[in-house]
Structure 1
Amino acid sequence: MMRSKQAVAAERPRQVIGFSDRIDFPDLGWTDVESKIDTGAYTSALHCTDVKLVSKGDRSQLRFTLMGERGRKKKQFVTDQFQYKTIKNSFGQSEKRFVIKTRVLIMGRLIRAEFSLANRGTMRFPVLLGRKLLRNKFVVDVSLQNVSYQMKQQNPAS
Structure 2
Amino acid sequence: MKKTIGRRERITLPNWKLNMIPAKVDTGAYTNSIHCTFLEEREIDGEMVLSYKVLALDNKKYKDIIHQTKDYTQKKVKNSFGQAEIRYKVSTKVIMFDEEFEAEFTLTDRSKMRNPILLGRKMLQGRFLVDVSQVNLSQKSKK
**TM-score (norm. length: structure 2):** 0.92
Letter in 2 for 1:66: V
What's the % identity of the aligned pairs?
36
Aligned to 2:125: 135
- Distance in 1 (CA, whole Å) between partners of 2:35 and 2:140 is 23
Cα separation, 1, equivalents of 2:37 and 2:86: 15
Q: Shift of the alpha carbon at 1:71?
A: 6.4
What is the CA RMSD across the aligned residues, in angstroms? 1.4
1:144 and 2:134 equivalent?
yes
Which range is displaced more, 103-112 or 113-122? 103-112
Give per-residue Cα distances to partners, 1:78-129, cap 9 Å, x unaligned.
1111001111212222110000011111122212111100110111000000
Structure 2 letter corresponding to 1:121 = S
CA distance in 2, matches of 1:120, 1:33: 14
2:5 corresponds to: 17
Structure 2 matches for 1:8-47, cutoff 5 A? 13-47=1-35
SS of equivalent residue, structure 1 residue 68: strand
Q: How is 1:41-120 mapped onto 2 (pairs within 5 angstroms)? A: 41-69=29-57, 72-120=62-110
**In the alignment, is the contact (CA less than 8 A) between 2:17 and 2:56 conserved in 1?**
no
* Whole-Å separation in 2 of the counterparts to 1:117 and 1:142: 25
Question: What is the number of residues matched between the two proteins?
Answer: 141
Q: Which amino acid aligns with 2:29?
A: A
Larger Rg: 1 or 2?
Answer: 1
Query: Which structure shows the bigger proportion of residues in strand conformation?
Result: 2
Which blocks of at least 5 consecutive residues in structure 2 are unaligned? none
Task: Compute the TM-score of the two structures, normalised by the length of structure 1.
Answer: 0.84
Q: Are the aligned partners of 1:43 and 1:131 in contact in 2 as well (CA < 8 Å)? A: yes
Structure number with higher helix proportion: 1
